[in-house]
Amino acid sequence: VFKASGLTVLPSILLLGPSGSGKTALLTLFERGTNAATHTSQSPIAVECSLPVGTTAASDKYRSTYDPTNQTHKKFLLIDTPGHGKLRHHALQNITNPKNLKGIIFLVDAATMSAGNGGLRQTADYLHDVLLVLQKRMTGGKAMKALKEVSVLIAANKMDLFTALPAALVKKSLESEITKVRASRSKGLLDSGIGMGEDVDDDKDDWLGETGSSEFKFSQMEEFDITVEVAGGNVTGGDGPGVDKWWKWVSERL
Ligand code: GTP
Ligand code: MG
C-alpha cells in the first residue's frame, strides 16, 4: 500500500512547559540528533521526527524482524510550543484540538525546582492548568472527547547541572506546589463569588484531582485516565543521563 506520510496524520507528541525549560532544544535534538542554539519561541512549530535506530515502537513490537515495515523508522510529529505566559494559549489550543495526540511531554528545568524558587511556582501553575484542561476534556470539543487515555511525561531537564534536583524530588516538589496552587485557586473562586448560588458541581469541576484530598498527588489523575510519569534527563551538557528515557517513553506511545 502506498502511504506518503504527508497524507496521513502522523501520531503526535506535544511539548509543553515554561519558558527556558528546553523545549526547543529538545525538539532540535530529537529532529536532528545534534544540539543547536535556540531562541525563545513565539509560535508553535511541528517537525517530523523518526524513532532512532534500535528503538521499536509499541505498535511494531509483535512484528517479525523480517517484516519490511520494520526497515523504515517509525515517524511522528513533535509539536513545540512557546512557554511564555502570554503565548500559552497556543499551547493549550494544541491540547484542546488534538490530531492523533499520543502523549504530552511537560518539560521542566530541574535546576529551578527548589523551594522558594519562583520557577517552581510558575511551573506548578502551568502544569496545574494543563492537567485541569485534560481532566475536564469531556466538556471540551469532539476531538478532546475522543482522547480516552492521556499520557503525560514530566521530563526533569538539565540534570547535567549540579543545582538540578533529582527526578524523585522534582516530582515531590511539584506535587506539594500544585497542592498550594489548587488551594489558592479554589479560594480565589470563593472570594470572587464565582460559583455562588450556582450548581455546586461547577465548583468541583475546577478542582484538580481527588475531591476533598488535602494533598495533591499525580496518581490522583489516574481516575481521569491520565497517566503521569516523571523521568530525568538532559538535552545539552556532557554529563548526565541524556534523553534515553524520554525516547523510550515516546517509542512506547507510537
Ligand atoms: P521558550 O521557547 O521560551 O518557551 O523556551 P524553551 O523551553 O524552548 O527553551 P530552550 O529550548 O530555548 O532552552 C533554553 C535554554 O536552556 C537554552 O540556553 C538551552 O541551551 C538551555 N538548555 C536546554 N536543555 C538544557 C540542558 O539539558 N542542560 C543545560 N545546562 N541547559 C539546557
Ligand atoms: Mg522554545
CATH number, domain with residue 24:
3.40.50.300
Ramachandran quadrant class, 100 (left: phi over 0; alpha: psi -120 to 50; beta: rest): left
Range in 44-48, 115-119, 150-154, 202-206 the model is least confident about: 202-206
In whole angstroms, what is the distance from residue 123 CA to residue 161 CA?
18
Tell me, yes or no, whether 192 lies in a domain. Answer: no
Is residue 126 assigned to a domain?
yes
For ligand 1, atom 14: residue with the closest CA: 20
Q: Is residue 7 assigned to a domain?
A: no
Answer whether residue 243 shows pLDDT above 50: yes
Residue 211 included in any domain = no
177 has pLDDT over 90: yes
What's the mean pLDDT in 32-49?
92
Q: Tell me the C-alpha distance between 17 and 80, whole Å.
A: 10
22-35 tens-digit pLDDT: 999 999 999 999 99
248 alpha carbon to ligand 2 midpoint, in Å?
A: 22
Residues with CB under 6 Å of ligand 1 are 17, 19-25, 38, 40-41, 82-84, 157-158, 160-161, 234-237
Going from the Cα of 135 to the center of ligand 1, the distance in angstroms, rounded, reads 28
Residue 65 lies in a domain: yes
Residue 108 in domain: yes
Q: What is the pLDDT of residue 140?
A: 78
C-alpha 28 to ligand 1 mean position (Å): 11
CA end-to-end span of the chain, whole Å?
A: 20
pLDDT tens by residue, 100-109: 999 999 999 9
Q: Which three cell numbers stand for residue 71?
A: 526497515
224 CA from centroid of ligand 1 (Å): 31
- b/e per residue 122-135 (b: at least 16 CB within 10 A): bbbbbbbbbbbebb
188 falls within a domain: no
Instruction: State residue 102 phi and psi, 5-degree precision.
Output: -105, -20
CB 141 within 8 A of CB 93: no
Q: Which residues, other chains included, contact 61 with Cβ-Cβ below 8 Å and sequence gap of 6+?
A: none
Mean predicted lDDT score pLDDT of the chain: 87
The residue behind cell 499520557 is 151
Atom of ligand 1 lying closest to residue 26 CA: 11
Structural domain that includes position 38: 12-167+224-251
Give me the percent of the chain exceeding a pLDDT of 90.
62
Ligand nearest to the CA of 159: 1
Closest residue by Cα to residue 17 from 80, 69, 60? 80
Q: How far apart are CA 93 and CA 158, in angstroms?
A: 27
Specify which residues 80 forms β-bridges with.
Answer: 45
Is residue 119 within 8 Å of 83, Cβ to Cβ?
no
Question: What domain count does the chain have?
Answer: 1
Q: How would DSSP label each residue in 154-211?
A: EEEE-TTSTTPPPHHHHHHHHHHHHHHHHHHHHHHHHHHTTTTTS-HHHHHHTS-SST
Of 14, 24, 165, best ligand 1 pocket probe by most atoms within 8 Å of the beta carbon: 24
Give the integer Cα–Cα distance in Å for 88 and 103: 18
| 117, part of any domain | yes
